[in-house]
Amino acid sequence: TYDGGIGGEPGLEAHGGYAFCGLAAMEILGKTDLLDIPSLFVGRPNKLVDGCYSFWVGALFPVLEAIMTRQQLEKNNTNCEELHEFVEALQEYLLIACQYPKGGLIDKPKRSPDYYHTCYCLSGLSTSQHHVIYDVEKATSSGVKQGELNAGDRSLLWSEDETRILILGDPNNIVVS
């Protein structure tokens, strides 16, 4: 886009939903090297807070972690702590500001619930609680190089790391499948 992110088509403004879909598609195709990763966080100027972005932007992190793992970048504990704080703040916003008293989830306070925001707020909450990782060992133990795996095989190399579940507040706040 003109501001560096991913939009609905060339020249349009960047959008968190397109950033996730674009990154996920390029990951499935094995072509993430064609993206300017930092620009994925360029969002819509003056966009108000919206609960659905908890998924669209929050879901970038597992894919980015897989890319960094493949590139064998060293992890910096400071960054991990900052991410932990972000995840807690995200859960706090969803649990405090997005729950509608009569049921459903909302994009921001003083709004009514709808199916779209309920779906994506729950998806964002789940993504922030459950740590899904790309299994590099499984990928390399097959003897097939990463670029030679088809998209279907690559999609099976993701699994949950149950030792890294993060639940804010009451354990009953967990989103389970």
Say which of 47, 84, 138, 164 is annotated catalytic: 47
If you search the block for the tokens 């859960």, which residue do you land on? 91
Say which of 18, 98, 107, 134 is annotated catalytic: 107
Q: Is residue 47 annotated as a catalytic residue, yes or no?
A: yes
Counting beta carbons within 10 angstroms of the beta carbon of residue 97, is it exposed (0 to 12), middle (13 to 18) or buried (19 or more)?
middle
Q: Is residue 15 annotated as a catalytic residue, yes or no?
A: yes
Say which of 18, 98, 117, 120 is annotated catalytic: 117
Q: What tokens appear for 86 in the block?
A: 């972000």
Say which of 18, 50, 98, 120 is annotated catalytic: 50
Say which of 18, 53, 120, 134 is annotated catalytic: 53
Q: Is residue 98 annotated as a catalytic residue, yes or no?
A: no
List, in order, residues 6 or more apart from 153 with CB less than 8 Å away.
Answer: none
Q: Is residue 117 annotated as a catalytic residue, yes or no?
A: yes
Q: Is residue 36 annotated as a catalytic residue, yes or no?
A: no
Q: Is residue 3 annotated as a catalytic residue, yes or no?
A: no
Q: Are 18 and 8 in contact (CB under 8 A)?
A: yes
CA proximity to 17, closest of 33, 130, 46, 47: 47
Say which of 3, 36, 84, 114 is annotated catalytic: 114
Q: How many CA atoms lie within 13 A of 85 on its CB side?
A: 6
Strand partners, 112: none
User: Amino acid identity of 18?
Assistant: Y
Task: Cite the active site residues.
Answer: 15, 44, 47, 50, 52-53, 107, 114, 117
